[in-house]
Amino acid sequence: MKKLLLFAALCTCFSCSYLPEKVELSTAVSIEETPDYISLIPTNNALLSTGIIFYPGGLVDPHAYIEAFEELVSTDGRQVVIMKVAANLAITNSGKAHRFIDDFEAVSDWVIGGHSLGGVVACTDAEAHPDAYKGLFLLAAYSISDLSDWDAPVMLLTGELDVVGNPGDLVENEPNLPPRLDVLTLAEIPTNGTSGQTIYHEISGANHAQFGNYGAQAGDSPAAISAEAQQSEVSDFLRTFFNVNSL
């Protein structure tokens, strides 16, 4: 009986998700929420034809990423769809993004992305449906699916102080992505496009948790920069990634 209770307690502890931090969104972003996704649409800007579909990190409430994408939605005019996944574990719903991209008629092309475990699942989705996506971005994540021959552009952003993600895993799985190109600044990103390449950029002072807004993550280092600064750099790099690839 004691073992059963201990097992139940452990299962409960390992099922606890991170709550999102309460945020005040600007009126420039409209939210549509269903049991399957959270869709962010610009209210003051024309909608671009390429949108973002995103898998959250493992055991992170999907609402924690709304503020992180606010700039790309309100300023750039991109629709961002954050997937809701069973148990807040993207691995339970691999391929879910692909089932919903046709629901958004105003968006003709999609870039898929994910944070941490969500990034791994985004790669799985891209491998299964390579023609459905025009690009891929990973936040503190790597690919266990073979995308090495995929001719779409890929971007991988990591945090200098991220100790949740295992650097060894990133190195070990690097061959699963298109050839690596390291960039230190935005200016180093090739302006004629990055198809068939993986742009690697490490954000100085960034950690694992601040790719979203859910407070400190167990095992993570404190960041040396604010969440706003980290997410602003993510937005800047994603914006350039989209622009140079005409997305």
Partner 1 sequence: MKQLRYIFIFFCVTTTLSAQQISLNFESFPGVAYSGGSGYFYGGGGLELTYQHDLGKGRIRGGLEYRMIDWGNQTSMNAGYNMTYYVRNAWRISGTSGLQLGLALFREKPLFAWGLEYSPEVEWQSGKRFFANASLGIRYTNSPKYKNYGNINSVLELPVRIGWGFRLGKT
Contact residues: partner 1, CB under 8 A: 8, 11-12, 15-20, 22, 31, 33-36, 38, 59, 61, 63, 84, 86-88, 92, 215, 218
Of the pair 20, 178, the CB lying nearest partner 1 is at 20
Contact 234, 139 (CB under 8 A): yes
Please state the closest distance from residue 173 (CB atom) to partner 1, in A. 28
**What is the Cα–Cα distance from 234 to 113, expressed in whole angstroms?**
12
The residue (of 7 and 243) whose beta carbon lies closer to partner 1 is: 7
CB of 195 to partner 1, least distance (A): 36
Distance from C-alpha of 133 to C-alpha of 203, rounded to nearest angstrom: 25
- Identify the burial level of 168 via C-beta atoms within 10 angstroms of its C-beta, where 0-12 means exposed, 13-18 middle and 19 or more buried: exposed
Q: How far is the CB of 11 from partner 1 (least distance, A)?
A: 7
Considering the complex, state which of residue 86 and residue 106 has its C-beta at the smaller distance from partner 1: 86
User: Which residue's CB is nearer to partner 1, number 3 or number 22?
Assistant: 22
CB of 87 to partner 1, least distance (A): 5
| CA 129 from centroid of its chain's CA atoms | 18
Q: Which two tokens stand for residue 77?
A: 């005019």
Closest C-alpha among 181, 177, 223, 174 to residue 203: 223
